[in-house]
Amino acid sequence: MMDKSFDFAAAEGRASALWEETGAFRAGRPDRTAAQPFCVVIPPPNVTGNLHMGHALNNTLQDVLCRYWRMSGRDVLWQPGVDHAGIATQMVVERQLMERQEPDRRALGRKAFVERVWAWKAESGGAIVAQLKRLGASCDWSRERFTLDEGLSRAVVKVFAQLYREGLVYKDKRLVNWDPKFQTAISDLEVVQVESKGSFKWSREDGAPLDAAALAKVLAKNPNGHLYYFEYPVVDDGGDETGERITVATTRPETMLGDTAVAVHPDDPRYQHLIGRRVRLPLVGRLIAIVADEYSDPEKGAGAVKITPAHDFNDFEVGKRHEAEGARPINILDAQGRVTLRGNVDFFEGLESDNDHARLIAALHGQDRFVARSRIVEMMALAGLLARIEPHAHAVPHGDRSNVVIEPWLTDQWYVDAKTLAEPAIEAVRDGKTQFVPKTWEKTYFDWLGNIQPWCVSRQLWWGHQIPAWYAPWGAVYVEETEEAAYAAGLADGVERGALAQAEAQALASDPARLAETFTRDEDVLDTWFSSALWPFSTLGWPDETAELKRFYPTDTLVTGFDIIFFWVARMMMMGLHFMPEIPFRDVYIHALVRDERGAKMSKSKGNVIDPIDLIDRFGADALRFTLAAMAAQGRDVKLSEARIEGYRNFATKLWNASRFAEMNGCVRVEGFDPSAVREPLNRWILGEAAQAAAETAGAIEAYRFNDAANAVYRFVWSVFCDWHLELAKPVLQGPADPAAKAESRATIAHVLDTIYAMLHPFMPFLTEELWAITGETGPRRAGPLALGPWPAQGFEVDAEVEAEIGWVADLIAEIRSVRSEMGVAPSNLTPLILIAPSERAGKSARAWSESIGRLARVGSIETAQAAPPGALLLVVRGETVALPLAGVVDLTAERARLDREIAKEKLEIAKVVAKLGNDDFVARAPEEIIAEHQERLETFQARLVKLNNARERLERI
């Protein structure tokens, strides 16, 4: 005997154990070797991560696909794994060291620190995997990979080395986005723009001196959002000030220390006479050139722009163009974003001797960039060279992880020539080899790849894939897959260059200690996304030619959020096409972002994060999964509300109780049940509806319309099977029906429940697996867990006759219920039902279904008459008139009003259709079936109107 409600917590445990025991999610099961493969690679969550709503949605959708195809007989591989997440993980462990007051990263040293991170990973890195399992993710967990494990590392170095050989990876000295907090370079994608607007306003014109304290206070809160107008004195050829000044505006005053030019537009009439002159850089005293460059926009700022090549991407380019005029980069910031002047040779080069270097160094050297900012502004004001300060809205780049302002900084880094790799990636999508769903994302993909910049892949971190590059004392670099190979290449090359004597090389080759001293490995590690980009083939065993690689690559579908199209999808396309060389996946399904009820992005700082595990605890994993699938309409954000989850929890309860009802009524599965041999109309009807619902669900899943699929199941289970089939079957099951009919009904219900469990399983795997097990205890033996199928057979159709009969009964019941409710007839009042001159079929149906009609419509008896008795309520149901003799029970004025309303409604509909059919253009141009449909509708309406009018007239005569 089943419990009264579904204990999801217990069932989740049981189902998980069953799947584990039976190896249900294993790819390459012996029974599927001949089956078509289906493969999805999981977007590997960060090892530091906890399951958030985005994961829940993403993995629910993948799981729906995988479970559906697995049930349909395919050999499914859902490849799981976790990402080592360079910065994030290093951060977590560093924080842990700090909290425990242990020696920090640097004190520990690289080797010990990395060991420490591995220890952390072993201890607490698997949390997210356990959470995915709780969600029900049907990954082949036996194949779990980690982006830093041995096999994947082998793939990474091979890829790096090969790209290097091909000239697609190179080292370059240029400006990078530098994160002063983590002290590493980051890629363009890891930079987020933050809008900033200050409030401080000051102008020299007003006469009041600058209130430096007030400014500092404002800047302490937000150092950005102001535009500062500086005046640089123009000097003559002898270096003496001419008295003229040129005004430049900046949002970063501290960078003026590194200014090496002032640029004006070549056509700007205001500055023609100044082009080629020099200015004295205030505070510093260095003489810098006024150059003509198109970059300068006369409309912006002061019209002339200061050029700081070492600290601004645009200025760097301008500087390159004007190198001859002295506009070389002068770096004035250190790795932590502090001003650095002492020992800064470039900075002092060309200084006038009468400047007070010591004063400047004392005031600024070693100061944080933002402290220096207000100091400089103050000093400029004191020098009388600050014209004004204005609030200025602009976007400031921040590190997406560190959340500090990013500095463009001149360093040596490794770059991937993304432009070359992007071409095949663009082509593959253009040719339709890989398709985005929804298609609109293709534009985003093309736009980005079309303008792609070199990808900075080196990171000054310790946790990650160390770059396989070794430097020799003679200034050469050797990029190889292994240390041994690098040494060998280095020695050979050293000899060739003449840097090493042959004998010396030989001696070195057999002395590991000296080799290690001679060649030093690049300290940097690779961007985490570099290894993620290889995920679809590295997880399948590449660079080995494994059976899995052969069988499952290209994968079928990638399911991911649009926020990582650039980070991940595009890069997988590039790497997959270059190394396999084939597309990594055929379809890319892009789903929405999960937001809170009000549409705000969930974030820890806003405190609006909903924890999926908490929801699973409260409502069950199935309810959460169903909600996410039902809301995953293409191209929309998912705004999650708890009420919705609760509703779907109730849905699970509903099905549970329907199953319980079946159990109580002896609905046991029957060996070899054949839907096409079923006789009873009601049973034939529900079998047809079930088959249709299953087909609808399958079609929707295959088209990635998850919401349609979920709704199709929901509607069938609740509104068709429970509301109508079970209710109409009750008299058969519980009354004195003919034993054969009873048996058939029982078998049908059991069969339909099996169909329901199957088509609901991709969405609610735990509930359905549990019900599958419970109902499996009776009847024929189950072949295995529901997770392995079968998906319901399709192709069975309801015949029209059956639909007409059951449909008429259902409509009749609904109509009677509606009128009774409207007229305020008490449920306890079992009224007679009189069929007025019924057709033969209606009479037959009414007799056949008298018990159900009685029960569901609160009808006491069913009679037939040629005319309605006076004062009876008349209804028209699919052309048949029926009467409820309620004279004296109901208020006839109310009934008149009701009929009038009905008539008016009918007339309105008729008028609309008549107008359309009366339109010559419509008749001439609309397709025939549309016209026929309108005609049919008109006839139906008119017939109904006639009967309604009759009823109304009869009422008038009373």
Partner RNA sequence: GGGCGCUUAGCUCAGCGGUAGAGCACUACCUUGACAUGGUAGGGGUCAGAGGUUCAAUCCCUCUAGCGCCCACCA
Closest to RNA by CB, 314 vs 692, is 314
As given in the structure block, the two tokens for residue 47 are: 């090892």
Residue with structure tokens 């190889």? 480
Closest to RNA by CB, 486 vs 590, is 590
State the amino acid at position 161 in one-letter form. Answer: A
Closest to RNA by CB, 451 vs 866, is 451
Q: How far is the CB of 616 from RNA (least distance, A)?
A: 15
Nearest to 305 by CA among 341, 252, 367, 374: 252
SS3 of residue 958 by DSSP? coil
- Please give the Cα distance from 695 to 702 (Å, whole number): 11
Residue 221 exposed, middle or buried by CB count within 10 Å (0-12, 13-18, 19+): exposed
SS3 of residue 361 by DSSP? helix
User: What sections of 500-546 are H helices per DSSP?
Assistant: 502-509, 512-518, 528-532, 535-538
Helix, strand, coil shares of the chain, percent, nearest 5, are 50, 15, 30
Q: Pseudo-torsion of CA 137, 143, 147, 149, nearest 10°?
A: 150
Closest to RNA by CB, 170 vs 448, is 448
Q: How far is the CB of 534 from RNA (least distance, A)?
A: 22
Q: How far is the CB of 913 from RNA (least distance, A)?
A: 8
Q: How far is the CB of 332 from RNA (least distance, A)?
A: 14
- β-strand pairing of 458-459 with 241-250: unpaired
**522 with 469: CB under 8 angstroms?**
yes
How far, CA to CA in Å, does 316 sit from each of 418, 419, 708, 920?
21, 21, 53, 71
- Please give the Cα distance from 362 to 347 (Å, whole number): 15
Closest to RNA by CB, 530 vs 661, is 661
Nearest to 17 by CA among 686, 957, 770, 897: 770
Q: How far is the CB of 367 from RNA (least distance, A)?
A: 17
Q: How far is the CB of 903 from RNA (least distance, A)?
A: 15
**408 with 316: CB under 8 angstroms?**
yes
As given in the structure block, the two tokens for residue 916 are: 């359309």
Q: Pseudo-torsion of CA 646, 652, 653, 657, nearest 10°?
A: 160
SS3 of residue 368 by DSSP? strand
Q: How many CB atoms lie within 10 A of CB 37?
A: 19
Q: How far is the CB of 647 from RNA (least distance, A)?
A: 4
Q: How far is the CB of 730 from RNA (least distance, A)?
A: 7
Q: How far is the CB of 252 from RNA (least distance, A)?
A: 5
Q: How far is the CB of 155 from RNA (least distance, A)?
A: 27
Closest to RNA by CB, 148 vs 733, is 733
Closest to RNA by CB, 162 vs 707, is 707
Q: Residues of 927-939 as b/e, b for ≥16 C-beta within 10 angstroms?
A: eeeebeebeebbe
Closest to RNA by CB, 112 vs 393, is 393
- Please give the Cα distance from 236 to 216 (Å, whole number): 36
Q: Could you give phi then psi for residue 214, rounded to 5 degrees? A: -65, -40
Closest to RNA by CB, 248 vs 834, is 248
According to the 3-state scheme, what is the secondary structure of 108-135?
HCHHHHHHHHHHHHHHHCCHHHHHHHHH
Closest to RNA by CB, 191 vs 275, is 191
- Please give the Cα distance from 491 to 683 (Å, whole number): 83
Q: How far is the CB of 266 from RNA (least distance, A)?
A: 12
- Please give the Cα distance from 286 to 282 (Å, whole number): 8
Facing residues of 169 across strands? Answer: 416
Q: Could you give phi then psi for residue 608, rounded to 5 degrees? A: -110, 20
Nearest to 85 by CA among 109, 40, 120: 120
Facing residues of 412 across strands? Answer: 173
- Please give the Cα distance from 27 to 885 (Å, whole number): 67
Q: How far is the CB of 21 from RNA (least distance, A)?
A: 29
Closest to RNA by CB, 161 vs 713, is 713
Q: How far is the CB of 436 from RNA (least distance, A)?
A: 12
Q: How far is the CB of 851 from RNA (least distance, A)?
A: 11
Q: Pseudo-torsion of CA 400, 403, 407, 413, nearest 10°?
A: -40
How far, CA to CA in Å, does 567 sit from each of 279, 475, 477, 539, 751?
44, 34, 29, 18, 47
Nearest to 564 by CA among 540, 584, 588: 588
Q: How far is the CB of 599 from RNA (least distance, A)?
A: 6
Q: How far is CA 769 from the centre of its chain?
A: 28
Closest to RNA by CB, 149 vs 851, is 851
| C-alpha radius of gyration, the chain, whole number | 38
Closest to RNA by CB, 70 vs 401, is 401
Q: How far is the CB of 123 from RNA (least distance, A)?
A: 34
Q: How many CB atoms lie within 10 A of CB 832?
A: 15
Closest to RNA by CB, 445 vs 535, is 445
Closest to RNA by CB, 559 vs 825, is 825
Nearest to 130 by CA among 120, 121, 119, 141: 141
Q: How far is the CB of 631 from RNA (least distance, A)?
A: 6
Closest to RNA by CB, 217 vs 601, is 601
Q: How far is the CB of 838 from RNA (least distance, A)?
A: 22
Closest to RNA by CB, 262 vs 472, is 262
Closest to RNA by CB, 795 vs 827, is 827
